[in-house]
Each structure stands twice: as structure tokens, then as C-alpha cells.
Chains A and B, each alone.
Chain A
């Protein structure tokens, strides 16, 4: 929040003049019928996306010249708010005159750009970016019907945020490169999640297959594993002496060994272990651990399992290691 948000923006004031004009008077609203298209020697494609029960629905009509796949005419019908109607209208405008192969390249971002009054000012407030996504989806569906392929085959990558068209690959890369730690950082860097917010976490406007929250957690886990692995690799290569490491390095090294050789067996039995502390004295290096889950109540945790952990750590890191469960 800041001064500009004290009152907050009026939704309709944030619409461009073009959105307002097209909502009041859509140019391509209407239907094309099979018989008409046939009489002109053309093929009619009609595709639906959305439904009244989900708040927005659009029906797209393409009259296509079968000789060159050109969309010679296009109409729409829309159940939706002002921005949905304006987006549908500009979508049909963008389709007319293109071949089906060209039309399929139209994205929701093209639709939104076409609704702007000037190139620098968004045509709709962030939460309404989503309306133009419907246009993108229905075009894919129509093209799929005409070409006899699945609409999903036009998708080259997994799109996590449809509003800003940010792919899974981009997200993972940006998180890793910039060491991003929170979802809002991810939004700042990629714009993903900055519009209808559905892709941030479950429970938003629509259910998604991928969520930023999960992607962030998974990517960071992957980053940790990579770091751990490089630490372990360094150790294996003889580059590191456990006894001379900092506490953080030691914990990482211990965790890496447990991860590699022990954890899977504990997890299999419904348990786990965490490292609480490492204390060094003259005779030994004491590693304090805590058992989690089923391990806590397992008899073997103070005998066999403990021995296995200790001997693995001694072998891999230092023979001075003693493991003490708390």
C-alpha cells in the first residue's frame, strides 16, 4: 500500500477508450451460419471457450477460404464483462485476413496491445488481463478444429502465467539466476502472477496445473541439492577437510551425506532425521540429530540406525564424528 492505493483505482476508469468504445459498440458481434459460408464456397469453424457458469464464455466464428486457409470473415458472441466483449471484438479484427496458420500465433498480449490507446498505457487493469486469455484459447481451439489437431499441440512450452505468458522454463531459470526467495520477487522479475493472480497458489480465479508457489519451492530445493552435491563433490575430490570447515559448511556436508546414503531408507519407513547442531571438542566432533516421524518411536533408532548413520559419516567425512540423538 502507498498513497495511490489509499482510495484505490476505479475499475472502469482504468479501461482504455478503445475498450469503452468497443464494449458500447462491438464491431464484429454476430454470427455466421453454415449455409452462408457454404454458399460462398467457404468452410465455417465455430469454437466455444468458457461457459456461463464460469463467468465468461466466448464463441468464435471463422469463415475460411479452403484454397488458401485465409480467414475471410470472423464474428464472435460473448457472455462476459466489458473487457471480455472488447477483447473478443479486437480478437476477431486481428483474425480477419490472416491464414489459420498465422492466426494461431495471435496471443492474449497481442489482443491487449490492440486495445491500448497509446502503446505505453495498459488497456485494462491487471486483474482484467485475464479476459484476453480467453481470446488466445478460443483461437487455438478453432485452429485445432480446422487443422484436425489437438489445440494443445500449438503450445510449445508449459505456460504457467497465461496473462503474462511466462513459461515454466523461464521461471525456473530466473529463480536460479537471481536467487529469488519469494513469490513477489518472482512476480517483480517475470511479471508472472501480477495480473489475475490465479497462478500464484491454488484458490484463485481459476484452477491451474502449475503454481508459482510450488515452482519456487521445487526450484529452490533443486538449487539446494545442486549446492549440496557440489559441496559433496568437492569433498570427494579431496578439496575439503571436514574438521576445518565452518559450521554452516559442516552442516551442509553432513546433510549431503545423509541425503545420499541414509535418508531414503528412513523415509521408506515413514521417518526422517534432521541435524540440530555440531559441537567440536578435543576428542570428537559431536553431531546432534533429531529423529522425525516414525523414527522417533523406532527401537532401532538408538542402535542399528544410529550406528549406520555414524559409521557412514565417519567413513565419508571424519573418523572423529560421534552422532548423538536428542
Chain B
């Protein structure tokens, strides 16, 4: 009977394997092509758009990287209508502020509210849990104009405070993940701490929070990667604080002389992708851990 299983599985396996190999190969080709293009001069790219740069590695157009690094800037207007230019260092700083700050606040908020909702059996905790479930099932579309109107009215538009306040939300799947984990933590830890004289803040920060550290890091990393690559929020809500992703998008659609050349655009892509790829390689197991709707397996 197992033979039947193995015989049948072969063709299913083979078909899936072939499709997956084709999928992976296309991605590899795309990435290699992007990197190879970033190392070509404009002239060589027109002459040789498909293959690796000609000549030995030393003769490749490595200067493209230093050129982009020095000249790549986003030009925009501040609230007074003055033209401002944000160079690559500024974009990096904005990216770190946005990705680290935003990811930390989202993760922390979900974690805190999930803890309160899971461990304190007040009627309000049930309401909070229900709110999260409802907002996940019931969609609201087209609220961006109202958000922009509100942010402009309260001077939070185009400010880090406004961006951070928007991120400090518990309406997310991650709330449910934390909730499930806190529910599963035995109350004995907290009881023992109480007997030892710990107050509620100490019980949370010193006892329960360390117990969910792995999940906290995982959620933080997933959010961090998402925010690192997110240019649309910055474009909408932080126009004078362009992130690197915003800058790369800006470069891809603008006509900035030499920077508008395809090899230069590929350089910008590599600069944006390289740090986050390193983060992924280092924390691959955490990011790709067993994420399920019911929780993250520690």
C-alpha cells in the first residue's frame, strides 16, 4: 500500500518540483540580471543588455555605486514651499527611524494590549478582543482622505510623531498571535512574583514579557522588513522625510539625467535590497519560523 503511495507521489512531486525550480530560476535570473546591469556603463548596457558585463571584474563599472551614493537625492518641497534635497544618508536615517520605530511601536502595542486582554478578565478585555476580530473581518475602504484631513488639522501630517502614532495600533493579526501565547502562559509565574513582592509592572516587564521574547523579535522583524520596503506610507504621510524605498521609487520614475539610466536604477535597487537581505540571512529562522494564524511556535 505504501508502494502505491510512493508511485502516485512521484508525478505530483515531479510536477511541483519542476514548477518550483522554474519559479526559483526566474527569480535568480532576475536578481542576477539586476546586479549585472548595475555594473555596466550606459554604453555597454545598450550594447549588451542581457549578459554579464564584459571584461574582467576589475573593469566592470563599479563607479556606478559611488556615483549613485554621492548624487542620489530626493528633491521635494517643505511646508513653506522651499525646495529641499534629501541625500542618501538622510534617506537611510529616515528608513531606520521609520522601520525600527514603526516596527517596535506596532509590536509593543499588540503585545501590551494582548497581555492585558488575555490575563485580566475584565469585561473591557472581551470588548477589546471583539474589536480586533470585527476590524479584521469588516473592511473599511477609502479612509485615507479623512486621515490626511485629520493629520493636517492637528499638525501631525509629515511628522514623525504622526507616523508613530499611526503605527501604535493593536488592530492586527499579531494581537491575536500574542493573545494566544499569553493565554497559554501559566499564571503560576505571576503568582510567584506577586508573593515575592513584585508589582504589576514588574510582573509584566520582568516575568511575562521575557517569556514571549522570541515571538516579540519575530513580529518585530516581520514588521521591520515590511516597513523597510514600504514607500507608499512615506509618500502619503511623510513627504519631506523620504525613506530609501521612497528614494528608489522616486529614482525609478524621475528623469534625473545620469541617474535615470537603467544601470543606475539597478544600483539603487541593490543598495536598498542589500541591508534587508543581510538582515534576512542572519535572522532567517526567526522570520520564517512557524507562523500560523493560531500563534508562532516558540
A-B interaction: no
Show the binding face of B for A, using Cβ within 8 Å: none
